[in-house]
Chain A
């Protein structure tokens, strides 16, 4: 399965990572049938450069918003500010959404231009990491 999204949506995640750098950013990708329709920004309740936790209260609001719009949760994105865009042990240990794509934006240097920022997506199911194709249209 692939995740389809527009270049502007990829840029929106990168800009979020850039604004929150050096702490990790996080948010949700909502859409239908594998196609992202909206990027929903969240706040990292950990306020950490090493971990993220989407604020649970905000998560509830975002879930209700998706429900009201009839959109499905397609992905969960976050940034790595010190490491490549590949799920860490922490990412795998805390992956409770086997049907969502985990999208990671790697932004070590906040001056990196968008087209040189690595963004990759993965499924994490029962501790097994599988890369998922990102189709940028």
Chain B
């Protein structure tokens, strides 16, 4: 059973819960189960093609899953998963064009 830390902007989806327990063997399975419990999670975390959205970081314990096995990263009992939307922006007036 992994524990998922839900950040403030996603708590509207989890009815205010900051921590959710989810049985899952991989991050991909965790996303599916989270979405079944709290509809809207999947589309927040993944794009239409099922890939992790660029602005969403998903940590297993202290490591972002892009440097592990991505959505296929295995989960063990007592792993802690943290979902963190990026904090980014900037003046960008003379910088590269906005994406």
Contacts and interface: CB of A to CB of B under 8 A. Distances in A.
Contacts of A88: 89-93
B96 interface: yes
In order of increasing CB-CB distance, the 5 nearest A-B pairs are A50-B95, A51-B90, A91-B89, A96-B85, A80-B91
Contacts of B15: none
Contacts of B55: 94, 96
A76 B87 contact: yes
Contacts, number: 106
Contact of B92 (A90, A95, A102): A90
B53 to A, nearest CB: 10
Contacts of B8: 72-73, 97, 99-100
B88 A54 contact: yes
Contacts of A26: 87
Interface stretch (A3-11, A31-39, A57-65, A110-118): A57-65
Contacts of B64: 56-57
Interface residues of A, number: 41
A82 B91 contact: yes
A96 B9 contact: yes
Interface residues of B, number: 26
Interface of B: 5, 7-9, 18, 55, 57, 59, 62, 64, 82, 84-96, 98-99
Contacts of A82: 91, 93-94
B84 A78 contact: no
A59 B93 contact: no
A83 B59 CA distance: 34
Contacts of B9: 96-99
A90 B97 CA distance: 9
Contact of A50 (B7, B18, B59, B91): B91
Interface in A41-84: 42, 46, 48-54, 56-57, 59-60, 63, 67, 72-73, 76, 78, 80-83
Given A76-B87, A99-B9, A51 B92 contact: yes
